[in-house]
Amino acid sequence: MDPSSPSPLPDELLHVFWHAGMLNHDAGTGIFDTGLDPGFLEVLEKHPENADRVKNMVSILQKGPISSHISWHTGKPAQISELLSFHTSEYVGELVQADKIGGREICSGTFLNRGSWDACLLASGGTLSAMKLVLDGHCKLAYALVRPPGHHAQPSRADGYCFLNNAGLATQLALDSGCQKVAVVDIDVHYGNGTAEGFYRTNKVLTISLHMNHGSWGPSHPQSGSIDEAGEGDGYGYNLNIPLPNGTGDEGYVYALNQLVFPAFEEFMPDMIVFGRGTRF
């Protein structure tokens, strides 16, 4: 930034929540995400959800062109009671027990190892802290740079490298704090099925997911992400899936946003908007 340029005004700052303790989640090595060692490889692959990805994101924000527009925060670990606003007590208990025994594979490709649970609590706590900063009127825009990711985690099960649904917890906090309507937009390449499942039967949350047309991938991910999955009961019509062809680029996303997402916002008129993807809130 030009030294002669004026300092950003408070409303122009992006408030980023990050804690280095989240690097302690290590999903292990093996062949892709299996954790398996066939015995004849010189170097095992890092799990796809590894700390290097988020290290680069932190570095870009710290050293990149918008660094002067960022205010950094650490947040605090989530409490078990806060997790129960979205997740069932039985499921949270399963994760706590897995941590006590030193970790295990919770579902296919999703490993909770030593250090993972503390990282999970930091991720969810940082996301809740980001939402609270906005709700308390201290900023307009907060960004939770967190891992493990969360958008596949459903109220009662893990899925797709995700243990706790950070966006879901933040959305529920907004509702509990007085917001009447919250819109959630998920732009990960995979369907944000966990967030959608958590609010599938309510008309207070509009969940929108733009994703690759990949379908279900097994017991932990029964949802297909098709346009037919539109919600149930009071929530019917409040889950908007936008499966996109493989290779869709910027122009395709802009078209989907202008033709589908923004009109849905205008009709729903949310009090709060949550943007999410696999690795951040």
> Which are the catalytic amino acids?
152
- 257 DSSP 8-state letter: I
Element (H, E) at 244: strand 239-244
**Contact residues for 136 (Cβ-Cβ < 8 A; gap 6+):** none
φ, ψ for residue 213 (rounded to 5)? -80, 80
Q: H-type helices in the chain, by residue range?
A: 51-63, 80-83, 89-100, 116-135, 166-176, 193-198, 250-256, 262-268
Given a contact cutoff of 8 angstroms between Cβ atoms, the answer to whether 43 and 170 are in contact is no
Cα maximum dimension of the chain: 59
